[in-house]
Structure 1
Amino acid sequence: MTDIVILGAGYAGLAAASNLAGRVRRRDDVRLTLVNPDGRFTERLRLHSTGAGRATADLRLPDLLAGTGVHLEYGWVTAVDADARTVRLDDARELRFDTLVYALGSTADTASVPGAAEHAFTIDSRQHAEALAARLPTGGSVLICGSGLTGVEAAAEIAERHPGLTVRLVGRDAPGSGMTAKAQAHVTAALRRLRVGVRIGEIRKVLPGAVEMSDSRLEADLVVWTAGTRVAPLAPALTVDERGRIVTDPSLRSISHPHVYAVGDAAAVRQKFGLLHGTCQSGMPTGVHAAASIARRLDGKPPRPFRFGYYHRPVSLGRGDAVVQFTRPDDSPRRACLTGRAAVWYKETVTASPWPTYARMLKVPSLASWWPRGGRYTR
């Protein structure tokens, strides 16, 4: 019996689990285990809405995986011993594996700036986003630290949902940087319409009720941290990069431990244009490719290299506005973009619940060779 353990049921991990379950459903020599803290699937692309206090869908893993043969193991992963091929959970249980898919994702990098971990909220999990929503003041001010796409979406959503709040967005770069002038201008106009203040500068320290900049101090009733991500150091034997991501070979295997596959935000995946950055757009295809590679190895075939190209950069600006910047495969902007209601429709279409996609992969896993959810994927 070959034991395959998949850690994490996020976008990438669930893509790996459902696709692999479809590929091995006729085999009786493979045992699949999916490890997750609970039975709910979190749509991470909607956590900024959760953080603003909006309800999101309650999608249940047991419902999706019923009858597939995938065993759900509930628990928090506390350590991975890649040499001994064991996974330790928070209740001291140990799971043995022959092949591991590491899909535990990333968390907000609150360690890079003093005080961020102690004094700022994050929206990198459902629990954290719900905690933020519960603490949003009815009046007063909220400071969003990080002017990347997550920060922009969070600032716009909170400002729209809570018009009585003073919302400010702070970061090193202007919101929408990296987009064309037209797309960036639309982001700027939307934030201005929502009365979101923007401040460009370097954050030096987070204090209780304030943020220290390089040249000033900004007061706030609540601070939200969206600047950067990191991967928890749970597998010390694996070769990782400076952000803790597992360095992979072209087929997504760890370069130090080939029986470990890394997917999604937890993987440092190199393409011709450079390293992938963590998004659903690239995360789900890595999960599918890991499943295909494992299935090929079970059949005695060598794995194929992973190839991926970006297609777009969709950003919501509240419920009634958005911008979609179309990109080249290396994520550099093309001239084309969508704004306003057309962009809202487009973004909601491509970021709709992946539940039907996972269900299709359980039945016909080869359909995922062509990836329709925002990226160009060939395996």
Structure 2
Amino acid sequence: MDSTVAPRRHEVLVLGAGYAGLSAAIQLAARTRRRGDLRVTLVNAHDTFTERLRLHMTATGRRTAELSIPELLDGTGAEFVRGWVTAVDPVARTVRIDDDRVLRYDTLVYGLGSVADTAAVPGAAEHAHTLDSPEDAAVLADRLDRLTRRGAGTVVVGGSGLTGVEAAAEIAERHPGLTVVLIGRDEPGAGTHPRAKAHLDAALARLGVRVHGGVEVTEVLPDGVTLADGTRVPADAVLWTSGTRVPPLAAAAGLTVDGRGRVVTDRALRSVSHPDVYAVGDAAAIRQGYGVMHGTCQGGMPTGVHAALAILRTLAGKEPRDFRFGYYHTPVSLGRDDAVVQFTHPDGSPRRIVLTGRWAAKYKETVTASPWPTFARMKKAPASGAIWPHGGRHTRTRSAK
């Protein structure tokens, strides 16, 4: 009788199936599917992939593709577990999900992403819509349809960043009978080249969006918002896009986090307090030479792939390489047939190169198209690095060797 005991498999648990988490799971599982010593399990609250880049379209009733996470994982060998993560125990190396199952890990990839920061302003959580999920977007779409059928209504978009601008333009174009008011601390397009900002301002004016830049919302009410100077802006619906926050799970687990609750990482994307935990995407505070990366889809997929390769190098007894990333562009939709693409230096500062109008819209649609082809390529071959679909430059994912 053979008394040989097979070695226990190394368990890699990936939390969150956004752009970063799904990239990590697919890349790691695809590279190790012929090995019997490692298992990859991906945990997510839903079994469909959320294209957050397109939620402003969902909010106006436009149909977008539905991508099944199990289908995206098919053929890689990775397992999928549906459930909300409720606790992480980095000492016991376990994760608890909402049906009280406890999942064990040897290496954890933490990619639970971010949501709109509705806690920053009184009333936002109770009275404002968000674009955190397809369900949230669908609720807003229903509200906008009812206002349109009524024949009039005012929609306030709180937050003049990229999400706020895209949402305001999309709502104004899709529902021309509604009054759309965009309010934010900064002017829309702040930090872009003057030519990009001029086109953006003209597009918002053409769509009839009323812009209030340089002002702050101090309270969201059931029927409007209050500004810092005491002015009250009536509204039939409020969409909140100002700032993001991450779930408190990492901080509650004792991981070192920054002031926004993001996991602080070393240069290889490992938690500085728990090196068997990697943090990716919006959930991570990743420092580069120009500062801490801000959460965008440009950086999400590269962080996921890098974490996968770093795990493989570590398991092979090698030191993982540093993660290095630079921004490439800032594309902003202004409805379906107009856009601005601001090309950038690696630190995100604007270059003189700007694309506007229909060609910019086509460009943005190309680089933010369904991620299915990219994930499909990951399943078949190693990541090539270089330019990513959402426009980032990632220089250190060419090989796991």
Q: Matches of residues 91-102 of structure 1 in structure 2 within 5 Å?
A: 91-102=99-110
- Structure 1 counterpart SS, 2:61: coil
Rounded Cα–Cα distance in structure 1 between residues aligned with 2:14 and 2:312: 14
Once the two structures are superposed, residues 259-285 of structure 1 have per-residue CA deviations (whole angstroms, 9 ceiling, x without a partner) of 000000000000000010001101110
1:133 matched to 2:160? The reply is no
The CA deviation at 1:205 is: 0.8
Map of 2:95 onto structure 1:
87
- Structure 1 counterpart SS, 2:387: coil
1:11 matched to 2:19? The reply is yes
Rounded Cα–Cα distance in structure 2 between residues aligned with 1:255 and 1:126: 34
TM-score by length of 1: 0.98
1:123–1:129 Cα contact (<8 Å) kept: yes
1:285–1:371 Cα contact (<8 Å) kept: no
The CA deviation at 1:336 is: 0.6
Rounded Cα–Cα distance in structure 2 between residues aligned with 1:7 and 1:167: 37
Gaps of 5+ in 2: 1-8, 397-401
Map of 1:261 onto structure 2:
278
1:30 matched to 2:38? The reply is yes
Map of 2:331 onto structure 1:
314
1:23–1:371 distance in 2 versus 1, CA, 3 Å: farther
Rounded Cα–Cα distance in structure 1 between residues aligned with 2:360 and 2:43: 36
Map of 2:399 onto structure 1:
none
**CA RMSD, aligned part only?**
0.9
TM-score by length of 2: 0.93
Gaps of 5+ in 1: none
The CA deviation at 1:370 is: 2.8
The CA deviation at 1:328 is: 0.2
- Structure 2 counterpart SS, 1:368: coil
Map of 1:189 onto structure 2:
202
Corresponding residue to 2:304 among 287, 306, 321: 287
Q: Give every structure 1 segment of 4 or more consecutive aligned residues whose post-TM-superposition deviation is greater than 3 Å.
A: none
Give the counterpart letter for 1:107 in structure 2. Answer: V
Rounded Cα–Cα distance in structure 2 between residues aligned with 1:252 and 1:271: 11
Rounded Cα–Cα distance in structure 2 between residues aligned with 1:369 and 1:30: 24
Instruction: Say how many residue pairs are matched.
Output: 378
Rounded Cα–Cα distance in structure 2 between residues aligned with 1:22 and 1:71: 12
Give the counterpart letter for 2:31 in structure 1. Answer: R
The CA deviation at 1:372 is: 3.0
Corresponding residue to 1:336 among 344, 349, 353: 353
- Structure 2 counterpart SS, 1:302: coil
Map of 2:174 onto structure 1:
161
2:298–2:388 Cα contact (<8 Å) kept: no
Rounded Cα–Cα distance in structure 2 between residues aligned with 1:370 and 1:83: 37
Once the two structures are superposed, residues 58-115 of structure 1 have per-residue CA deviations (whole angstroms, 9 ceiling, x without a partner) of 1111222123211100011111111211111111111111100011100000111111
How many percent identity over aligned positions? Answer: 66
Rounded Cα–Cα distance in structure 2 between residues aligned with 1:127 and 1:248: 32
Once the two structures are superposed, residues 273-309 of structure 1 have per-residue CA deviations (whole angstroms, 9 ceiling, x without a partner) of 0010001101110001001101111211110000000
1:141–1:166 Cα contact (<8 Å) kept: yes
- Structure 2 counterpart SS, 1:104: coil
Which entry has the higher C-alpha Rg, 1 or 2?
A: 2
Rounded Cα–Cα distance in structure 2 between residues aligned with 1:62 and 1:105: 20
Give the counterpart letter for 2:244 in structure 1. Answer: T
Map of 1:249 onto structure 2:
266
Rounded Cα–Cα distance in structure 1 between residues aligned with 2:75 and 2:162: 38
Map of 1:362 onto structure 2:
379
Rounded Cα–Cα distance in structure 1 between residues aligned with 2:301 and 2:247: 20
Once the two structures are superposed, residues 220-273 of structure 1 have per-residue CA deviations (whole angstroms, 9 ceiling, x without a partner) of 000000000010111221011111110000000000000000000000000000
The CA deviation at 1:36 is: 1.0
Once the two structures are superposed, residues 116-140 of structure 1 have per-residue CA deviations (whole angstroms, 9 ceiling, x without a partner) of 1111000021111111111222121
The CA deviation at 1:37 is: 1.4
Map of 1:232 onto structure 2:
247
The CA deviation at 1:353 is: 1.0
- Structure 2 counterpart SS, 1:183: helix
Rounded Cα–Cα distance in structure 2 between residues aligned with 1:256 and 1:126: 34
Corresponding residue to 2:193 among 156, 175, 180: 180
